[in-house]
Amino acid sequence: MLGPVILAASRSDRMRRLISAAPVTKQVVDRFIPGETVDEIVPIIQDLTSRGLELTMDVVGEDITTPEQAEAARDAYLQLIDRLKELELGTRAEMSVKLSMFGQALDGGHELALANVRPVVEAAAAIGTTVTLDAEDHTTLDSMFAIHEELRKDFPQTGCVIQAYLFRTEDDARRLAANGSRVRLVKGAYKEPAEVAYQQKHEIDKAYVRVLGILMEGAGYPMIGSHDPRLIAIAQELAHRVGRKLDEYEFQMLYGIRSDEHLRLAAEGHRMRVYTAYGTDWYGYFMRRLAEKPANLRFFLRSMVSK
């Protein structure tokens, strides 16, 4: 029952101030967010790619409150893309973005987010890679899917994320699978009400398998975003059953979680993409990682007490 409490805290400014200022926080944060600047993250990118892994890069940040912050987010991604150009990684390093960091929740936010994210998608395409739009809470999704559709007119490789815990997702998956999109399927990381989302783990897992079936049988490119060994095995089985080759789908996991499994899947010949977050505004991302596994929270609290 700790998960929902931590997710509520992830949206509290008071908790943000308390946790961000705690002396030991950084050590624990580093496990999931291994750098604050582009200079710090480049060696991590080089290390992971040298081990046969692919990346999707996330400059952490969300729920910004001014248009200037949205422009700063855009510029942070453009700076990253400049560095990726020098590394010549092409699609081995793509970008993940949260539209709330690009101004989606501000006045006129839909247009603002589209205007800010477009240059990032253009710059990514210019170096031979692409962008995936992360899925945030359910109130933001109609706007996210509309922006995805708009971007795909010029950049068909632009991806998006769908969340198995939402009732709407099977319909979204059918639409996206039919139009050939790149789609990352995840369980879902936000606190959602029972009117819109499954609440029980076994229901979410069953929904994940149903949606995975739709994506695997469809015309798009499924990206399986999960660390769950059962779901990974089911994905392999489904891919085999529908005749998808190894380059016709991929696995994705978060940096710092089940790292051995990243390497195992890559060694088996799978495309394995590691979602690698960096930056200073790490609070929301970090709290969602704590909520997913209460043992992380116990470790975090113990390290604070033992200091």
The answer to whether the annotation marks 98 as part of a ligand binding site is: yes
User: Which one among 83, 191, 244, 293 touches ligand FDA, defined by CB under 6 A?
Assistant: 293
302 an active-site residue? no
The answer to whether 93 and 50 are in contact (CB under 8 A) is no
Q: Find the farthest-apart pair of alpha carbons in the chain and give their distance in angstroms, rounded.
A: 54
Rounded to an integer, what is the distance from CA 246 to the centroid of its chain?
A: 22
The answer to whether 116 and 102 are in contact (CB under 8 A) is yes
User: Which residue among the candidates 58, 134, 172, 281 is catalytic per the annotation?
Assistant: 134
- Residue 254 binds ligand FDA (CB under 6 A): yes
What would the two tokens of residue 129 be?
Answer: 């890679």
- Which residues make Cβ contacts (< 8 Å) with residue 68, sequence separation at least 6? none
Listed ranges 69-77, 84-92, 122-130, 251-259: which one lies at the site for ligand FDA (CB under 6 A): 251-259
Signed CA dihedral, 203, 205, 209, 214: sign only:
positive
134 an active-site residue? yes
Q: Judged by CB, which is closer to ligand FDA: 108, or 298?
A: 298
Q: Judged by CB, which is closer to ligand FDA: 52, or 67?
A: 52
Q: From the CB of 205, what's the least distance to ligand FDA, in Å?
A: 7
- Residue 36 binds ligand FDA (CB under 6 A): no
User: Which residue among the candidates 152, 184, 271, 273 is catalytic per the annotation?
Assistant: 184
What would the two tokens of residue 226 be?
Answer: 């999960």
Binding string, residues 54-73; x marks residues near ligand FDA by CB under 6 A = --------------------
Binding string, residues 119-148; x marks residues near ligand FDA by CB under 6 A = ---------------xx-------------
- Which residues make Cβ contacts (< 8 Å) with residue 70, sequence separation at least 6? 64, 101, 102, 103, 106, 112, 113, 116
What would the two tokens of residue 163 be?
Answer: 């969340």
What would the two tokens of residue 296 be?
Answer: 């992380």
- Which residues make Cβ contacts (< 8 Å) with residue 245, sequence separation at least 6? none
Binding string, residues 148-167; x marks residues near ligand FDA by CB under 6 A = -------------x-x----
The answer to whether the annotation marks 201 as part of a ligand binding site is: yes
What would the two tokens of residue 27 be?
Answer: 């050590």
Distances (CA, A) of 148 to 113, 152, 248: 11, 6, 21
Residues 166-205 that bind ligand FDA (CB under 6 A): 186-190
Q: From the CB of 49, what's the least distance to ligand FDA, in Å?
A: 16
Q: From the CB of 71, what's the least distance to ligand FDA, in Å?
A: 22
> To which H or E segment does residue 296 belong?
helix 294-305
Main-chain dihedrals φ then ψ at residue 8, nearest 5 degrees: -65, -40
# residues near ligand FDA by CB under 6 A: 23
Q: From the CB of 18, what's the least distance to ligand FDA, in Å?
A: 20
The answer to whether the annotation marks 227 as part of a ligand binding site is: yes
The closest of 144, 141, 142 to 131, measured between CA atoms, is 144
In DSSP terms, 273 is beta-bridged to: 54, 252
Listed ranges 45-53, 76-84, 144-152, 220-228: which one lies at the site for ligand FDA (CB under 6 A): 220-228
Q: Is 278 helix (H, G, I), strand (E, B) or coil?
A: strand
Listed ranges 3-11, 41-49, 170-178, 291-299: which one lies at the site for ligand FDA (CB under 6 A): 291-299
Listed ranges 150-158, 169-177, 246-254, 298-306: which one lies at the site for ligand FDA (CB under 6 A): 246-254
Residues that bind ligand FDA (CB under 6 A): 134-135, 161, 163, 186-190, 225-228, 252-254, 257-258, 275, 289, 292-293, 296
User: Catalytic site residues?
Assistant: 134, 184
